[in-house]
Amino acid sequence: MRTKLNLAVLPGDGIGVEVTREAVRVLSTVADVHGYDFQFRTELVGGAAIRETGYPLPQPTLEACLSSDAVLLGAVGGPEFDALPPDRKPESGLLALRRELGAFANLRPASSHRAIEDCSPLRPEVVRGADILVVRELLGGLYFGEPRGFTAEGSAGFNTMRYSTDEVERIARIAFEQARARRQKVTSVDKANVLETSQLWRKVVTRVAREFPGVALDHMYVDACAMHLVSNPSRFDVILTENLFGDILSDESAAIGGSLGMLASASVGGRVGLFEPVHGSAPDIAGRGIANPLGAIATAALLLRYAAEMEREARDVEEAIGDVLNRGFRTADLVRDPRTRAATTEEMGVAVAEALTGICERRHAFHAV
Ligand code: IPM
Ligand code: MN
């Protein structure tokens, strides 16, 4: 466990700024309650960085991240940058950061909270008990494959999907290790009926599986997986997949929890871990204080778990989130009954921080008896 943490905080764009504030509030509460030393250093990334410096990942930001114990990021992107070429967009700053940190394993848990079951567009009996971990390869595939670009006359664009044995092996190991600590099941998702990369993927994953005899492996095509995720999500434990498939399937898995605003992610395996909610900058609701901070707060819990080895503290934060939901707190995205007044981003953050303090105090009182 590391009780002294230097954290690089990159709020980024849109609601990233608002939800990150609440995640920092909760991390500060953890530090206060336990007497830990968490230092926060805020840096620019994405559109905010382009506006100030012309670059989506300025050098000082990268250096701050590389010398930190973990990076907490909000979101990047916005409509004013739509016309920029892909390699100059806010998103390219995030991709460069993932690559520079070496964060190749993106862990995206998705589960159904009983208290907000009614927020899912899926029937309660379909989502009840669903608890999935998407393990998304983050540094390969179409996102990074070369060559890429436009033809000289601009009449065609192209990208390359490419995976090496090593890249598949290392992400597969992460998925099996995660499954070992869960329900011992990995579903590897590919498109091996069409793509060579997927045929290699399948072969390598099957081989890695032999190192984990206790874990069951099955393979599924990505189109079938997209269907099973919403028709029978409880059949999954760990979903292991490549970069773009994982991007799409993890957004789809938000249907299980009821809102994209609930989903957290951890990008690990490199020099420094990168922690960001799954949702984007949501320009349509940015600046209004109504965004759901629970995804960002759950991301803070993942940071405690994976960057600080604070399993207890991570669980406390997750329990605090459950607490406020059970007590009826709902941001606008979670409101189903029109008579319910939606909590603001800040009210939700404060409620979680208070619930967390309560959980920790009760435990101390119990141990003092
Ligand atoms: C995500 C996002 C990013 C991705 C974008 C913003 C580059 O959609 O983290 O899922 O595609 O990886
Ligand atoms: Mn995405």
Q: Per-residue pLDDT for 369 more than 70?
A: no
Q: Which are the contacts of 112, defined by CB distance < 8 A and separation ≥ 6?
A: 120, 127, 128, 129, 130, 131, 233, 256, 257, 258
Digit-coded pLDDT (tens) for 207-259: 999 999 999 999 999 999 999 999 999 999 999 999 999 999 999 999 999 89
**Ligand 1, atom 11, residue with closest C-alpha:** 247
CATH number, position 134: 3.40.718.10
DSSP code of 243?
H
Domain co-membership, 34 together with 153: no
The answer to whether the CB of 247 is under 6 A from ligand 1 is yes
- H/E run at residue 345: helix 345-368
Which ligand 1 atom is at minimum distance from the Cα of 243? 12
Q: Which of 327, 324, 326, 320 is nearest to 362 (CA)?
A: 320
Query: Residue 277 C-alpha to ligand 1 middle, in angstroms?
Result: 10
Give, for ligand 1, the residue of 91, 107, 281 to mutate: max count of ligand atoms closer than 8 Å to Cβ.
91
**Ligand 1, atom 4, residue with closest C-alpha:** 247
Domain co-membership, 353 together with 282: yes
Domain co-membership, 246 together with 132: yes
Domain co-membership, 285 together with 239: no
- H/E run at residue 108: strand 105-111
Higher pLDDT, residue 346 or 2:
346
Can you read off the two tokens belonging to residue 153?
A: 């006359």
Digit-coded pLDDT (tens) for 141-175: 999 999 999 999 999 999 999 999 999 999 999 99
The whole domain housing 184 covers 121-257
Domain co-membership, 97 together with 151: no
Query: Residue 299 C-alpha to ligand 2 middle, in angstroms?
Result: 15
The answer to whether the CB of 249 is under 6 A from ligand 1 is no
Cβ neighbours around 329 below 10 Å, total: 21
Helix and strand tally (H, E) in the chain?
A: 13, 12
Q: What is the pLDDT of residue 1?
A: 86
Query: Residue 361 C-alpha to ligand 1 middle, in angstroms?
Result: 38
**What integer is the mean pLDDT of 29-56?**
97
With beta carbons less than 8 A apart as the criterion, state whether 321 and 352 touch: yes
Query: Residue 136 C-alpha to ligand 2 middle, in angstroms?
Result: 11
Give, for ligand 1, the residue of 95, 135, 242, 299 to mutate: max count of ligand atoms closer than 8 Å to Cβ.
95
Cβ neighbours around 27 below 10 Å, total: 27
Domain co-membership, 278 together with 318: yes
Give me the active site residues, please: 143, 191, 223, 247, 251
**Ligand 1, atom 5, residue with closest C-alpha:** 91
Domain count for the chain: 2
Q: Which of 48, 50, 70 is nearest to 4 (CA)?
A: 70
Domain co-membership, 241 together with 272: no
Boundary residue ending a domain (204, 234, 257): 257
Digit-coded pLDDT (tens) for 347-360: 999 999 999 999 99
Domain co-membership, 222 together with 150: yes
The answer to whether the CB of 94 is under 6 A from ligand 1 is yes
Can you read off the two tokens belonging to residue 113?
A: 């909270």
Query: Residue 250 C-alpha to ligand 1 middle, in angstroms?
Result: 10
CA distance 265 to 128: 21
Q: Which of 290, 260, 292 is nearest to 278 (CA)?
A: 260
Residues within 5 A (CB) of ion ligand 2: 247
Cis-peptide into 86, omega within 30 deg: no
DSSP code of 267?
E
Domain co-membership, 214 together with 174: yes
Domain co-membership, 362 together with 280: yes
Boundary residue ending a domain (207, 232, 257): 257
Which amino acid belongs to residue 134? V
Torsion region of 114: left, alpha or beta (phi above 0 gives left; psi -120 to 50 gives alpha): alpha
Boundary residue ending a domain (236, 257, 278): 257
**Ligand 1, atom 7, residue with closest C-alpha:** 91
Q: What is the pLDDT of residue 30?
A: 98
Digit-coded pLDDT (tens) for 91-122: 999 999 999 999 999 999 999 999 999 999 99
Domain co-membership, 53 together with 130: no
With beta carbons less than 8 A apart as the criterion, state whether 12 and 281 touch: yes
Domain co-membership, 190 together with 212: yes
With beta carbons less than 8 A apart as the criterion, state whether 97 and 68 touch: no
Digit-coded pLDDT (tens) for 269-292: 999 999 999 999 999 999 999 999
